[in-house]
Chain A
Amino acid sequence: MGSYVIKRIVGLVPILFGISVLVFTILHLVPGDPASIMLGTNATPEAIAALRTRIGLDEPLITQYLSWLGGLVKGDFGVSVHTGEEILPQILKRFSITLQLTLFAVLIGWTIAIPLGILSAIRVHSKTDIVVRIATLLGISVPNFAVGTLLLLVLSLYFGWFPPIDVVSFWEDPGEALQVFLLPAVTMGIVIAAGVLRMTRSAFLETMEKDFIRTARAKGNSMWTVVFGHALRNSSIPIVTIAGMQIGYLLGGSVIVEQLFSIPGLGQYVLEGIYQRDYPVVQGGVLFVALVFVLVNLLIDIIYTWIDPRIKY
């Protein structure tokens, strides 16, 4: 297991290298020049040229890439062209907010999805099942900007409640943070719940047909023991898989939800970088997101071995 983890981490190097090439190339192919965007439409060509020289944009692409890569190897993500701030501390700060939002959203999503998914599966084709399935379909099909807007409107218009403007972390002020993150987390939680619920239901339906479930019942176990003692763990591989994918994506920053609720997370940071053609910010942000995604996947693979003794690496 230890050697497997080391192998996977070493395997990260080529992946991250590939992503760095890709993001650098694509970004430089996009039309729009950071210098002219920063200086506005009235800037003189001389001023633009001077700024380009200062931030190194007049160098050949390969030189620009290599100098960026050289910095990365030393853990230096560079500075923002726009604000001059160090990028890595900004990424980490934004990531901590995205992380809190994601975990809160996942908590909400799973709390809804897993019990309902199980209930829906063990009472398949019942009225409960039908209601749950319709709700799931709604959760998947309604886009989260619509859900978020609706939540905001209903709560502010009818209940006079607005989430606080300033974002605080859970470890600074849990009560305040709860108010800050509640609406965006519910918005994201609904989408998470829909996906996890579908997977839980179908995984359970399949597991409950298995021979060993019949054996478990033939031993005189109650339905509760059969479901939670035998079926749950046997159904959890696909559930963990989809949950891992979702967490991976969400940790990259949910751009729409962060935008909608003015949460200064990673998604918003990268989005602003794109608007301003702030190359180092976008490159650094995307690379960081890729790293997180790959690490989450590694974690999921390790969880598999803990769930199922037949899985060995």
Chain B
Amino acid sequence: MAPMLEVEHLSTTFAEAGRTLTVVEDVSFSVEAGETLGVVGESGCGKSVTSLSIMRLLGSSAKLDGSIRFAGTDVLRLSEKEMQSIRGNRIAMIFQEPMTALNPLHPIGRQIAEPLRRHLGLSRREAAERAVHLLKEVGIPRAEEIAAEYPHQLSGGMRQRVMIAMAMACQPQLLIADEPTTALDVTIQAQILELMKKVRQEHGTAILLITHDLGVVAEMCHRVIVMYAGQIVEEADVQSLFADPRHPYTVGLLRSMPSISGEQERLQAIPGAVPLLHEMPAGCRFAPRCSKAMAICREQMPELFVVSATQKCRCWLYREEGEA
């Protein structure tokens, strides 16, 4: 079966003040129906831009190259109008800040009903009834009353449930969740993740989960790509990633995560900072911060080497093991 989403050699560049900035460079990955792919990385590594590229929501200053095939169609070739009939319908998105992502002046029910009316052509009344039903499905009590309330009257967790209900309204084949739990309390985070699992199970939705939280990855994902400075540096199934991380950056990420078990030791922060977009190093982009950097790392960009059946890594250390 062909994957639900297949991104190949995606590059996203922005023209700004006379120069072009490459924010996402040569990114390829795929997600199958019912599968969850995690996209991990620090702020500014290009993970959100990747997701907005798939939705084609980046505005006119962004230039997209490569191909993004969704259910067999290259979305980069679609007109804006055709794209509008896919957004919110077959591909839906959940954002990080449920407070600001909801329109503060519209009642909850109306916001959920909007895609139903737009894409499924439901009448105002049918859409309103369906909205209440969706609110119940995402576990909101007093759904009828909540539908008439406004976002500011709801808690953060409730708002994120509303976002999920809204995203799931037209039963999309692909759900892009951009840091869906980052703004929430830990207990609420777990509930939201459970809800997303339930959605995945019931509808077979493919999920692209963008996060910087490795705990969320372990909980939710089947496979993971790790991004650094606009590139994929490691791709692996979730077990291999945690058991046997290959890229020094991935290793660093895992070391900088506190763990409950084992001895209390100092967390190991990765020294230095992500290079600026217009000051990318010539060789490996992680080389300036890498403890294992060799001469070649500073001169030549490594390829994404295949290191095992389920793992790829962009690092010169693995040149011997595999070929790109």
Contacts and interface: CB of A to CB of B under 8 A. Distances in A.
Interface string A293-313: 000000000000001111000
Interface residues of B, number: 28
Interface stretch (B95-103, B239-247, B274-282, B297-305): B95-103
A214 interface: yes
A307 B57 contact: no
Given A215-B166, A219-B166, 20 more contacts: A211-B97, A212-B100, A212-B102, A212-B103, A214-B57, A214-B95, A215-B95, A215-B102, A216-B103, A216-B114, A217-B57, A218-B55, A219-B92, A219-B118, A220-B84, A220-B87, A221-B88, A234-B103, A309-B104, A309-B150
Interface string B36-71: 000000000000000000010100000000000000
A211 B100 contact: yes
A131 to B, nearest CB: 19
A222 B97 CA distance: 23
B86 interface: yes
9 contacts: A212-B100, A212-B102, A217-B57, A217-B87, A218-B88, A218-B95, A221-B84, A222-B84, A310-B150
Nearest to B114: A219
B105 to A, nearest CB: 5
Contacts of B180: none
A8 interface: no
B136 interface: no
Contacts of B92: 218-219
A309 B103 CA distance: 11
A222 B152 CA distance: 26
Nearest to B92: A218
Nearest to A236: B105
Main secondary structure of the interface of A (DSSP, over half): helix
Interface of B: 55, 57, 81, 84-89, 92-93, 95, 97, 100-106, 114-115, 118-119, 150, 152, 163, 166
Nearest to A212: B103
Interface string A194-229: 000000000000000011101111111110010000
A230 interface: yes
A230 B103 contact: yes
Contact of B104 (A217, A225, A310): A310
Contacts of B87: 217-220
A54 interface: no
A225 B101 CA distance: 17
B84 A310 contact: no
Contact of A218 (B85, B93, B100, B119): B93
Contacts of A309: 104-105, 150, 152
Q: What 6 A-B pairs have minimum CB-CB distances, sorted nearest first?
A: A219-B88, A220-B88, A220-B87, A211-B100, A212-B103, A218-B93
Contacts of B104: 212, 234, 308-310
A233 B118 contact: no
A219 B103 contact: no
Contacts of B100: 210-212
B105 A307 contact: yes
Contact of B86 (A220, A225, A234, A310): A220
